[in-house]
Each structure stands twice: as C-alpha cells, then as structure tokens.
Amino acid sequence: MSIQGWYYLHTNGDLIFKPHPEAAVDIRDSDFARHLWPMDPDDREGAWKILVEAHALGANHARVDELAAKWGCNNADADNYAGRLGVTIQRDGDAWCATGPGFQDIQSSPVGFGGTKLEAMANLARALGMSSGKMWAPTFRDLLKKAA
C-alpha cells in the first residue's frame, strides 16, 4: 500500500484531498474533519470505499460523482466492488437495489436504493448505520459483516 495522501470529509460536506502520506495527523486534529480515508492510486477497492462511505456520510454528491468519473467508478465497475464485499445489486423498477449478505426480504433486512449502483451501496451503508469517525469508525465492510 502506497498512501499518496488522504481524503477527508469536511463538516461542510466537502470531500477534500490532502496530498501527503503523513497528512492524517493534521486531519485527525482538525475540528472541521468528520472522517478520513487513505488514498492509494493503485487500490481500486480503496477508491470505492471512499466514494461509498463519503456519500453515505453526506458528502457533497457532485464532488462524489466528480471523483467517481475521474476514477472510472461506474455502474459496470461497481459489480466488482460489490462482489468483493458480498453485496448484491439488482434493478428494482427504475432504481438499483443493494442488499448485503444475509438478506432475507425488504421488510426485515437493510437495503439501499439509488439511481446508480454507487448511490444504492451508499444508501445500504447508511441503512446499516454508517457513522463518521476519524480513527475507529466502522467501515462499510465492517457493517456488512456485522449484519450477515
């Protein structure tokens, strides 16, 4: 893993990049940062983690979409990330529906709907209880394991 810098979720909803491997120290000490993620340009799963979790935590959606386009994280690529986590994404009417391992039915299991697969996974993360934190907050993967 070669961390090139850190993305963090600002209290105003901005998703900001700080380009230095040691930037996490400053971000953790900031009252304006709600959550942070390491950025390794060779870590495809890490890019998806940033996008899904930041979206779930209320990041500016235009910024999340901008980064998704820049990184090539589209609906076709989403299936690879979802498969690694055990998430199933299916079309449900005019929306995508994301469900986690152990899904039984829509009434009793957490689900996420969205216009894109990214949005559906972010809404699933939110339904699972995604919360912000600078050090020990659960990840989307952690929440899925707990719900399984």
Say which residues have a Cβ less than 8 Å from residue 82's Cβ, sequence separation at least 6.
88, 89, 98, 117, 121
Asked if 37 and 47 count as a contact pair (C-beta separation under 8 A), the reply is no
How far apart, in whole angstroms, are the C-alpha atoms of residue 72 and residue 130?
A: 24
For residue 117, what is the enclosing H or E element?
Answer: helix 117-127
Predicted local confidence at residue 17, as pLDDT: 98
Predicted local confidence at residue 47, as pLDDT: 97
pTM over 0.75: yes
CA 46 to chain centre: 9
Could you give the number of structural domains in the chain? 1
Strand, coil or helix: 62: helix
At 87, the amino acid letter reads V
Give me the average pLDDT of each 10-residue run along the chain (148 residues).
93 97 94 97 96 98 97 96 97 96 91 98 98 92 93
Q: Is 97 left (phi over 0), alpha (psi -120 to 50) or beta?
A: beta
- Which domain, by its residues, includes 17? 5-147
Predicted local confidence at residue 24, as pLDDT: 95
Nearest alpha carbon to residue 139 among 131, 103, 100:
131
For residue 109, what is the enclosing H or E element?
Answer: none
